[in-house]
Amino acid sequence: MSISKLQWNQAMIQRYDLAGPRYTSYPTAPQFVESYPAGEVEAAIHRSNEAARPLSLYFHIPFCDTICYYCGCNKIVTANRKRARPYLDSLFKEIELRAAQFDRSRPVHQLHWGGGTPTYISDTEKRELMAETRKHFTLLDDDSGEYSIEIHPGGLSPDTLAVLRELGFNRLSMGVQDFNPQVQKAVNRFNSVEEVAALSERARAEGFHSLSMDLIYGLPHQTEETVAATLEQVIELGPQRLSLFNYAHLPHLFKSQKQMDASALPEPQVKLNILRHAIERLQAAGYVYIGMDHFAKPDDPLAIAQEQGLLQRNFQGYATHGNCDLLAFGVSSISAIDSIFVQNYKDIPSYTAALDAGRAPSFKGLTLTDDDLLRQAVINQLICHFELDFHPFEHAYGINFRDYFAGALQELKPLADDGLITLHEQGLQVCSEGRLLIRRICMAFDAYLKAPQPVSYSRIL
């Protein structure tokens, strides 16, 4: 499929920009239940092995040496790098425990290190972790997998990239956020244009397939002019992928956010102006709007996969390798195995204690019902491709789509009347003016939003 450029419609954005889930999964994490039965996990792993799908591996390394005030990630801030050693020892136990349950012949198509700051651990520890992974799982040696790592460019030696490439990583995700000195000081995250440029140059020299940069809009002291300046610098650096995330100020959930001056946050209309300029500038620079905050150059595999109707989405974002079972390791990480989600303990003591006792360190999970799986497929199709053909869902799930989703289609009728989507007898198409509001469109198919819930969501934009 070929997608036209996104169009900005101020009136519709103001009308439909409400709070809602980010849909890194469906059902979303608030639906997970505690004391999730180990038997459910074992049954899912059995089904997974029978299906023989390829694997996606995620490793959570929660450590940072300084705190970024805006951050809502599960992290441990410490300058004492020795604290990583016992955590890695526990991580190795989890790898061995979980790998023993999976057929070794299943190849690892995706691998990702996130955090925290994964490069916090030493080069020796990085080699240990990858060696332990390779010992228990079948990694691809031909550089065809999507093996990525998140890096904080501030103070990172370019030589570290050579080590990462040696280990098999072929994609980098770099958290730039903003280059403006006043903004950096306000959020306590520092990385200069020169540092990022040196890392970008070295990444290309080392043969990384793709470089992605993350930016955040809505931070203290940001204006249309300051973000525009950062954007020009980023465009000049030429990453293949770029993410532009909306900062959600939720200090009641994330204590570090209290260290920022809330009065310095840009007003809602300024945030929208920043977003509009960024989208228009990135599209003018040749980037394709993939959706859900993400952009890519037209020749990037993400854009190609979307054009071919093959794009997928998982807990790490958009992906080109679909149909994988996701095994996640480390505190707070979430696995998606067959038709279940299972999440590890969020604190290191509980995580470590479980592994020391020879148990999987999981405490929450969810077994997806047939209805969950259907709605998950619908939402993923919308997020990735901005259209629905009802026929494949009717054939795969034995339903009449219009009857089954009568309530959702009725809820979407005002959006159709406003020109954001086109509804027809056998499908749904999101118009260019509606693509920014894809989360709102997905919410119509979310069964869990129909009942009152004590969940705090950020605004869509």
CATH number, domain of 442, equals 1.10.10.920
**Is 14 a domain residue?**
yes
Instruction: Indicate whether 349 belongs to any domain.
Output: no
pLDDT value at residue 453? 57
Residue 81 lies in a domain: yes
pLDDT of residue 331: 97
Collect all residues with Cβ–Cβ distance below 8 Å to 64 and sequence separation of at least 6: 75, 76, 77, 78, 115, 116, 117, 120, 152
Cβ(343)–Cβ(365) below 8 Å: yes
- Asked if residue 176 and residue 98 are part of one domain, the reply reads yes
Domain that holds residue 398: 1-27+369-461
What pLDDT, on a 0 to 100 scale, did the predictor assign at position 138?
98
- Rounded distance, CA 182 to CA 138, Å? 46
One domain, residues 306 and 419: no
Do 44 and 162 lie in one domain? The reply is: yes
Assigned domain for 103 exists? yes
pLDDT of residue 24: 86
> Whose structure tokens read 């023989």?
52
Residue at 331 is within a domain = no
pLDDT for 286:
96
d(CA 324, CA 169): 18
* Residue 256 and residue 188 share a domain: yes
Last residue in a domain, options 302, 325, 348: 325
Q: Is residue 257 located within the same domain as residue 118?
A: yes
Residue 335 counted as domain residue: no
CATH code: domain of residue 95: 3.80.30.20
Answer yes or no: do 43 and 72 share one domain: yes
* Per-residue model confidence (pLDDT) at position 452: 59
pLDDT of residue 451: 63
Whether residues 63 and 52 share a domain: the answer is yes
* Domain match, 316 and 419 both: no
Task: Supply 51's token pair.
Answer: 């299906």
84 lies in the same domain as 57: yes
Number of domains comprising the chain: 2
The gap between the terminal CA atoms of the chain, to the nearest Å, is: 26
Domain for residue 360, yes or no? no
| Domain end residue (candidates: 306, 325, 344) | 325
Does residue 427 share a domain with residue 295? Answer: no
Query: Is the same domain home to 33 and 22?
Result: no
Residue at a domain's end among 265, 291, 325: 325
Residues 77, 119, single domain; the answer is yes
Segments of the chain with pLDDT less than 70: 1-4, 451-456
Does residue 338 form part of some domain? Answer: no
